[in-house]
């Protein structure tokens, strides 16, 4: 459903009224379009003394065709600061010294990225404290930025400096338009990152399974993974067969009608992927349902159905695919929700299932081995047919209660999943990234 308020607020009359009344002013986000530059201006690169990532950042930007400058003069498309050299509390002043003079130079839909060292990997207590402090800085900056700009914190484990390319490219581009104030870890649990031969088609030769692919976010995931070169096996229940076939045909993939909650579903799915495709490289657990009702009024079938589709089926499918069907270096990607982080009235069943998806990431990522990564996205308010049916007042609150003052699009979730799926993201595992414009709900 169109965001009429955003359209009005960006009209001539609307801009005047919004400014005069102090109303939310959502900037149209700059999303990825093939052929467009990643940013509208150069990257201003700075570092605290002793930082270890400056050369790597400059190299990634050069390879992506993005200009890097060290002079604060002029406008900038992104501000990137290497804070890995911050080892004492007083050294946090380097953040102020870098950002304070230049924050106003950040252009529309600009990017702020701070790089640090995972606190849990640091033995020295004060350095651990100083690095953990970066999180509060970045989340606050994210709330202060205007005009569609975003801020992110990336913790890079020592030894993983060469594995930052996919994450930095993602965060400095329109692909991360609705990802804001997130903390991403690289190399803590990850494996090898292999840069693709062609960054425009990083998934060439890969087979991707997308469940719940007949519409909405699932369809967008299928489209983006196919755009990036993957053959997509689009899966949904037989009742969605027509929509599923349309999506599969549109992306040049194949359709599989299957109820993933059926007792024989994992075995049938494994046999299909092994027989037809020789295995699978990317598994996206997108299938999900809602049966909303306050707990006191909820009936047994509503609880059981949501937990079965949204969580139990994923664990059963994982168990089957990890038995030799998911290839080495594969990807397991779950779709959680901010409801699984912050909870939501009338959604105890849904929030429980989505918190369980986060638990799946936490449990699987350290132990799956074979270079397989396990991550999840947690969408906030995304413009779909489902949210279009939400009552107007609740819908408007969902749209405005985030730092970007607008809802996201299904493609925003899909782009984040494609970043996880990229072979160059091999050191990115155990992450749950919210795609919510820095929602006021949750951390």
Alpha helix stretches (DSSP H) within 285-369: 300-307, 313-321, 339-342, 348-364
**Domain 31-186 identical in fold to domain 207-435:** yes
Any catalytic annotation for residue 178?
no
What are the φ and ψ backbone dihedral angles of 419, each rounded to 5 degrees?
A: -65, -45
Q: How far apart are CA 59 and CA 112, in angstroms?
A: 18
Residue boundaries of the structural domains of the chain: 31-186, 207-435
Q: How far is CA 436 from CA 100, 180, 277, 336, in A?
A: 26, 7, 34, 12
The model's pTM: 0.96
Tokens of 207: 């087979």
In tens digits, what is the pLDDT along the chain, a chain of 443 residues?
678 878 877 888 878 787 787 778 889 999 999 999 999 999 999 999 999 999 999 999 999 999 999 999 999 999 999 999 999 999 999 999 999 999 999 999 999 999 999 999 999 999 999 999 999 999 999 999 999 999 999 999 999 999 999 999 999 999 999 999 999 999 966 667 889 999 999 999 999 999 999 999 999 999 999 999 999 999 999 999 999 999 999 999 999 999 999 999 999 999 999 999 999 999 999 999 999 999 999 999 999 999 999 999 999 999 999 999 999 999 999 999 999 999 999 999 999 999 999 999 999 999 999 999 999 999 999 998 877 677 777 787 788 889 999 999 999 999 999 999 999 999 999 999 999 999 987 76
Q: Which CATH architecture has domain 31-186?
A: 3-Layer(aba) Sandwich (3.40)
> Kind and range of the H or E element at 47?
strand 43-47
Assign domain 207-435 to its CATH architecture.
3-Layer(aba) Sandwich (3.40)
| pLDDT recorded at residue 191 | 67
Predicted confidence at residue 435, as pLDDT, reads: 98
Handedness of CA 431, 194, 226, 2 (dihedral sign): positive
Cα separation, 239 vs 216, whole angstroms? 16
* CA nearest to 147, candidates 91, 103, 108: 108
Q: In whole angstroms, what is the distance from residue 27 CA to residue 382 CA?
A: 16
User: What is the Cα–Cα distance from 340 to 118, expressed in whole angstroms?
Assistant: 24
The catalytically annotated residue of 155, 350, 364, 420 is: 350
Cα 30 → chain centroid? 16
pLDDT at position 16 is: 73
Residue from 396, 409, 408, 314 nearest 359 by CA: 314
């Amino acid at each position: 459903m169109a965001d009429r308020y955003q359209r009005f607020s960006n009209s001539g009359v609307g801009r005047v009224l919004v400014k005069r009344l102090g109303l939310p002013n959502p900037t149209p986000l700059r999303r990825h379009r093939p052929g467009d530059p990643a940013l509208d201006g150069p990257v201003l690169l700075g570092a605290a003394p002793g930082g270890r990532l400056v050369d790597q950042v400059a190299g990634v930007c050069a390879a992506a065709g993005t200009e890097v400058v060290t002079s604060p003069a002029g406008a900038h498309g992104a501000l990137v600061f290497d804070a890995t050299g911050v080892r004492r509390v007083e050294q946090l002043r380097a953040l102020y010294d870098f950002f304070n003079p230049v924050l106003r130079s950040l252009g529309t839909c600009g990017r702020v990225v701070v790089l640090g060292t995972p606190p849990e990997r640091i033995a020295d207590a004060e350095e651990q404290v100083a690095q953990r402090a970066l999180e509060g800085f970045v989340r606050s900056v994210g709330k202060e930025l205007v005009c569609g700009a975003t801020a992110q914190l990336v913790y890079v484990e020592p030894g993983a400096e060469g594995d930052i390319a996919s994450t930095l490219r993602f965060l400095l581009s329109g692909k991360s338009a609705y990802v804001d104030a997130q903390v991403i870890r690289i190399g803590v649990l990850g494996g090898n990152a292999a840069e693709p031969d062609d960054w425009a088609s990083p998934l060439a030769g890969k087979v991707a399974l997308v469940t719940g692919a007949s519409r909405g976010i699932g369809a967008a995931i299928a489209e983006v993974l196919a755009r990036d070169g993957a053959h997509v096996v689009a899966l949904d229940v037989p009742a969605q067969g027509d929509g599923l076939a349309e999506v599969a045909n549109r992306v040049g993939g194949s359709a599989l009608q299957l109820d993933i909650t059926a007792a024989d579903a994992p075995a049938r799915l494994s046999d299909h992927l092994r027989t037809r495709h020789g295995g699978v490289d990317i598994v996206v657990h997108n299938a999900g349902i809602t049966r909303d009702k306050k707990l006191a009024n909820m009936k047994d079938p509503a609880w059981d159905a949501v937990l079965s589709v949204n969580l139990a089926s994923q664990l059963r499918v994982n168990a089957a695919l990890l038995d030799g069907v998911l290839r080495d270096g594969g990807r397991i990607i779950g779709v959680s929700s901010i409801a699984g982080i912050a909870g939501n009235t009338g959604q105890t069943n849904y929030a429980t299932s989505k918190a369980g998806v986060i638990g799946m990431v936490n449990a699987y990522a350290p132990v799956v081995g074979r270079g397989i990564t396990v991550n999840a996205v947690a969408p906030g308010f995304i413009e779909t047919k489902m949210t279009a049916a939400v009552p107007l007042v609740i819908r408007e609150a969902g749209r405005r209660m985030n730092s970007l003052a607008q809802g996201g699009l299904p493609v925003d979730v899909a782009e984040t999943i494609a970043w996880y799926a990229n072979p160059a993201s091999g050191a990115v595992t155990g992450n749950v990234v919210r795609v919510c414009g820095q929602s006021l709900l949750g951390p």
